[in-house]
Copies of this chain bind each other. A is one copy, B any other.
Amino acid sequence: MDTELNAGEIHRLLDIEEIRALLARYSHLCDARTDTSFVREIFTQDATDDHGLFGKVFRGWAELEDMYQRSSEFLETAAHFVTNEQIEVSGDTSTARSYVQCWTWLRESSHLGKLRPADYVLVGVYHDTLARTPDGWRISSRLLRPLGTGALGLGTPHPVYFAAYGEAPVGTAGTAGTAGSAR
């Protein structure tokens, strides 16, 4: 056994495990949020986030909090299912790609009651870079890119996504109901 090799490999496994847990923690904190302070537990202070939303890249805690605040205006809640993690570590930086399904419940559907289906599901790939900080690994940049033909898995998205992803759905607008329901 090459002890030195193993020390490096153990540290690599520990880093991968911590980063995978961070990607999971993002969902847990984001989906259960009552405010936007979770941003500071996940992202570096000068992190960038390019979700393709609101026509800009958000940079730094204050702007990221603003991005999540804006989305809270039309989202009642969401559930981010993260899978297919590919995590590479190089010293104190890391690159990670993962798949996400974002199941989304809009405020405008709240009259349908709590036991209603999601309004839509978005699907995409997170392209993250991460940094090792004194508080552990944090995301330093996040880019969301579509899976599928245009990031839509199911349902009809909020109009903010038409701008983000370049077009309104053709032929389905005005006819598609909430996920799984017929009108």
A contact set with B: CB distance below 8 Å = 1, 3-4, 6-7, 9-10, 13-14, 16-17, 21, 24-25, 27-28, 31, 76-87, 97, 99, 101, 103, 105, 110-118, 120-121, 123, 125, 147-157, 161-162, 165-172, 175-183
Contact = CB atoms under 8 A, between A and B. Distances in A.
A182 B179 CA distance: 10
Given A81-B99, A116-B150, A156 B180 contact: yes
Given A148-B105, A182-B182, A114 B166 contact: yes
Q: Within the oligomer, what is the number of copies of this chain? A: 3
Contacts of A149: 76-77, 105, 110, 114-116
Given A17-B13, A112-B169, A154 B117 contact: yes
Q: Helix, strand, loop or mixed for chain A's interface?
A: mixed
Given A154-B180, A169-B116, A179-B154, A83 B82 contact: yes
Contacts of A112: 169-172
Contact of A182 (B6, B114, B168, B181): B181
B77 A117 contact: no
23 contacts: A6-B10, A10-B13, A13-B14, A16-B17, A24-B84, A24-B86, A27-B84, A27-B99, A79-B99, A79-B123, A81-B99, A103-B123, A112-B169, A112-B170, A113-B169, A114-B167, A115-B166, A116-B169, A117-B120, A117-B152, A117-B154, A118-B152, A156-B180
Residue in A17, A24, A147, A178 whose Cβ sees the most chain B Cβ within 10 Å: A147
Nearest to A164: B115
